[in-house]
Amino acid sequence: MSDRVFGTAMLLLAIGYGVIAWQLEAPFQYDPLGPESWPKILTFVLGACAVYLLARPDAEPSWGGGRSLGKLMVAAAALSAYALLFEPLGFMLATIAFAAGLAWYSGARPASAAIYGLLLGTLGYVIATRVLELNLPRGPIPF
Amino acid sequence: MDVFGYLMGGFAVVFTPLNLSLVLFGCFAGSLIGALPGIGPINGVAILLPIAYSLGLPPESALILLAGIYYGAEYGGRISSILLNVPGDASAVMTTLDGNPMARRGEAGRALALSACASFFGGTLAVILLTLFAPALAAFAVTFGPEEYVALMVFAFATLASLVGRNSVKTLMGAVIGLMIATVGIDANTGVVRYTFGVPDLLAGIDFLIIVIGLFGIAELFTLVEQQITGRLELTPVGKSFVSLKDLLAVKWTMLRSSIIGFVIGVLPGTGASVASAVAYGTEKRLAGEEGKQFGQGHIKGLAAPESANNAAAGGAMVPMLTLGIPGSGTTAILLGALLLFNVQPGPLMFQQRPEIAWGLIASMYVGNVALLVINLPMVGLFARILTIPQAYMIPLIAVLAFIGVYSVVGNPFDLYVMIALGVFGWLLRKLDFSLAPVILGVVLGALFENNLRRALSISGGDWSILVEGSITVTLYVLAASAAFAPMLMGRLRRVRYAESDVPER
């Protein structure tokens, strides 16, 4: 079933990709293939693979039930929140909150998770910006 | 200048303070990453690539560092396999078969030291073979025209489809998805904009770094969250036992055979260490005859074979990457992408035009292998302790490293979301039993494949028959076809034989 759903999605992707490919046109074309031929070839290969997958799907993978999917949703949400706060809060504060939160959620004790978050945020910032001279958002902290 | 002279030039590049410390650091970090359960070479290189890129190193130094992490991780992968029975990645699976039983017998120290020696042997033999063959292959490949490159690419994807993953259609599909990702952006030949949907950020294509770190780093994080090991891992103590000269002499032919198998499989485009270690293990088991029955119960040959092979494959995989610009494995695909980020086009001309990169890398692998042996024998206890770091701390660390890497390179919060989305997509693909190496290979080779095809047809004025002219192309297509159909035929033959043996005798 999962393979069939994925195969359908890929077939739709192939169709959508193909529709665009057939509309591509170069104003001045120097080579016989132009920008559209390669995407057309890929459309056919992906389409053929998708049809094969629909016809002969593999056995169903184990999705691990609601609890495992729930954990993944939390992880994805945590990552998105981290991305959202990365610039406004700056690397240090965002990382402290994110790392402590996710470590705690992944099973660390609250106190150790908090210490871990603090260390990762502060040491990470100092190492990355001072030692490695990388560009990271500073946020409201003035140093 | 002969090979020896060039190699000395390479050593001159390596023995500068910066590059020497990068080799040592790369090997050390690679061993650590490889030792961590669940994180293999490809994820390690993917997570650290953007950081290495944004350090502003010259290309040869960055490549020396990343390659050190690559074969260091291939080296360190055995530690978690032996002590925890948890392979770091696919190439370390075979190491668990005999390594872990030895550890449970109280011979963990012997197993670790023996596998370190086997890794050293495989890695070093591979670099020697690389030194000898790569320049010759590069000199030969200089004559390749676009039609030969098209044939090479077809060959690469055919071997990939038949040897990687369980379902070859899924492998092909993954490669096509990668090739499609590579078509996003402005077409370099005509200036036509393709598949950007009006998003200006996409005009230059989807950033390679974001694809790599999303598909490998973030997807790995999701997998760790999902399979999170609750409770404490049972760590076998390392103990005092050590490898003896007798052990080494007993496995010398095993190491030699497995290293050669590993190197050859590593050279084949698309296939890497995981296939090599499985083939070497199977071969040794068959050759051992009666003794082969003890494989899987902690036999030293069963441990030495996959370890020599996977390290030799890591060296072998460098050959097509350096000489043809076609990577031999998922990890070398990332290294190749790294070179492209530095505007260095790997290929036959690199040996002449940028010898400091090609030969510097090769020389660094000699130094790195010695360093790994020296680091690994006495410090194995330290690496073993790394294994006990709870995953609760690993998971945020991967995310933070990925964020630092992507942000410091592109400096754009939008790309962080793209990275997370690609991570979800990568996790989904893995769940559906797709392997991710073909996807990244498709991304890296997409432009090269298309441009060579178009160049070939420009030369012929649109006549497709140019693709099958010349003996090199025809040979490559025959090889590609046999690679693609061999497993199918073998499967059918085996089935026929089974069917025959099912017939009751009269």
Give the DSSP H/E element, type plus range, for residue B186: strand B185-186
B423, pLDDT greater than 90: yes
CA-nearest residue to A81 within chain B is B417
**Cβ contact B189–A31 (<8 Å):** yes
B233, pLDDT greater than 70: no
pLDDT at A75: 93
Dump pLDDT digits (tens) for A45-79: 999 999 999 998 888 887 777 788 888 999 999 99
A4, pLDDT greater than 70: yes
d(CA B41, CA B274): 11
Q: What is the mean pLDDT of residues B78-84?
A: 83
Q: A133: how many CB neighbours lie within 10 A of its CB?
A: 11
Confidence of residue B38 (pLDDT cuts 50, 70, 90): low
CA-nearest residue to A135 within chain B is B408
- Identify which has the larger pLDDT, B506 or B359: B359
pLDDT at B355: 86
Which residue from B38, B229, B222 is spatially nearest to A77, judged by alpha carbons?
Answer: B222
CA angle B133, B138, B140 (to 5 degrees): 100
pLDDT at A94: 94
B232, pLDDT greater than 60: no
Q: What is the mean pLDDT of residues B22-45?
A: 84
d(CA B460, CA A22): 24
User: B214 near B421, Cβ under 8 Å?
Assistant: yes
CA angle B101, B87, B208 (to 5 degrees): 165
- Tell me which of A119-128, B34-43, B258-267 is least confident: B34-43
Dump pLDDT digits (tens) for B325-378: 888 778 888 888 888 888 888 888 888 888 888 899 999 999 999 999 988 888
Size of interface A-B (CB pairs under 8 A): 180
Q: Does A135 touch chain B (CB under 8 A)?
A: yes
**Cβ contact A58–B192 (<8 Å):** no
Tokens of B149: 């490159």
**Cβ contact A75–B170 (<8 Å):** no
Tokens of B422: 């690609």
Confidence of residue A135 (pLDDT cuts 50, 70, 90): confident
The distance of B413 to chain A (nearest Cα, Å) reads 7
Dump pLDDT digits (tens) for A94-108: 999 999 999 999 888
The distance of B438 to chain A (nearest Cα, Å) reads 14
B108-141 and B93-102 helices, crossing angle to 10°: 160
Burial (CB count within 10 angstroms: exposed 0-12, middle 13-18, buried 19+), residue B506: exposed
Q: What is the mean pLDDT of residues B138-148?
A: 87
Q: Does A38 touch chain B (CB under 8 A)?
A: yes
Predicted TM-score (pTM) of the model is 0.85
- Tell me which of A112-121, B170-179, B324-333 is least confident: B324-333
B498, pLDDT greater than 70: no
In B, which residues are within 8 Å of A25 by CB distance? 192
Residues 84-113 of A with CB under 8 A from B: 84, 86-87, 91, 95, 98-99, 102-104, 106-108, 113
B165, pLDDT greater than 80: no
Most A CBs within 10 Å, among B176, B181, B464, to test the A interface: B176
Which residue from B344, B309, B307, B336 is spatially nearest to B156, judged by alpha carbons?
Answer: B336
pLDDT at B505: 33
pLDDT at B103: 86
Q: Could you tell me which residues come within 8 angstroms of residue B56 by beta carbon, excluding any fewer than 6 positions away?
A: A133
CA angle B500, B502, B506 (to 5 degrees): 85
ipTM of this complex: 0.92
B40, pLDDT greater than 80: no
B272, pLDDT greater than 80: no
In B, which residues are within 8 Å of A31 by CB distance? 189, 454-455, 457-458
User: B328 near B266, Cβ under 8 Å?
Assistant: yes
